[in-house]
Amino acid sequence: MLTKYLCMFFLGLMLLVISNLQAATIHVPDNYKTIQEAVKNASPRDTIIVHEGYYTENIIITKPLTIESTKGSDASIIHAAVQNEPVLKINNVNEVSISGFTVTGSQSAGIYLYNSHNGQLRGNKVVNNGSGIVLISSNNNTFVNNTANLNEQYGIYLELSNNNILEKNIVNSNKDKGIFLSSSSYNELINNNVNLNAWNGITLWSSHNNLLKDNNILRNRYGIVLSDSNNNILTNNSTWSNIYAILPIVLIYIGILLYLVQKHLLRFI
């Protein structure tokens, strides 16, 4: 009987130790000077807390980790050290969470997910890269409150990626397309702002059964473009591509009418 209790006690103790190991928190630059060094030395499911600073590096993540900044994206900036590599590459891994960074300076991609699933990107600013956020063969990821602006090609690009949720993201002023889904299905694009992109706001190419809901898609060359795509649901999206051309003309016309009204009114006074 005593042996049984001792076994249970040691088993519990081991579980406690293991769970503590799993919940380790690493601070950058206190524990490691670079984020990549922290990633390299972290165990799966560790949390890496990055304090404010300017980090010049390319980070490759191949284990499930949570990487967070302490003071948000304006204070924690990651700039590509090698410009033709992604700033953050999440490669063949599940459940990576990244939040609160400015990611910039790559001619390839700001954040690149390859064959990575169930991840989360929250509150990141991915600006001035080749493309902003790129997903290849990555499913069930959630992107919320990210900004993907001023990238040379696409703001957010999904290829062969399914069941992802893109919510409340800002995708503005990219030099090609805003959000591009290529051969990607069952994704949900909800309440995103996709404005001022040089070509299409949202493009679906050979992508099926996606939901586009409550998105603002203003002042792009074309609002929503669907090509070879079936069974997509589009509800309550605003696509006022040409309002900036029409509105001033309407206002000047109203001005002329108001002048005539005022002149006639003054005659009676």
Partner 1 sequence: MFEIATILASLGLILATVSFISGLQALKSKGSADTKIHRFNGYLTLIIYLSLAILSMSGKDGIKIGSVSAWCGGLAIIAMKIWIVRSGRAYKYASWMGIILIIMWLIIIYTNIQLGSMSFLNL
CA separation for the pair 209, 186 (Å, rounded): 5
Query: What type of residue sits at position 68?
Result: E
How many residues sit in the footprint of partner 1 (CB under 8 A)?
Answer: 23
145 is a contact residue toward partner 1 (CB under 8 A) = no
In the structure encoding, which two tokens stand for residue 93, read together?
Answer: 């891994």
198 is a contact residue toward partner 1 (CB under 8 A) = no
CA separation for the pair 260, 227 (Å, rounded): 49
User: Least distance to partner 1 from the beta carbon of 170, Å?
Assistant: 6
Can you spell out the DSSP letters for 160-229?
Answer: S--S-EEES-EEE--SS-SEEEES--S-EEES-EEES-SSEEEEEES--S-EEES-B--SSSEEEEEES-
Cβ closest to partner 1, residue 17 vs residue 250: 250
Which of 193, 207, 232, 239 touches partner 1 (CB under 8 A)? 193
151 is a contact residue toward partner 1 (CB under 8 A) = no
Question: Of the listed pieces 37-45, 101-109, 154-162, 249-257, which binds partner 1 according to CB under 8 A?
Answer: 249-257
How many other CB atoms are found less than 10 A from the CB of residue 170? 18
Which of 80, 87, 219, 232 touches partner 1 (CB under 8 A)? 219
Cβ closest to partner 1, residue 43 vs residue 235: 235
How many other CB atoms are found less than 10 A from the CB of residue 104? 19
169 is a contact residue toward partner 1 (CB under 8 A) = no
Residues 50-79, one symbol each (x = binds partner 1 by CB under 8 A, - = not), give ------------------------------
CA separation for the pair 211, 190 (Å, rounded): 8
Residues that bind partner 1 (CB under 8 A): 170, 172, 193, 195-196, 216, 218-219, 243-244, 247-248, 251-252, 254-256, 258-259, 262-263, 266-267
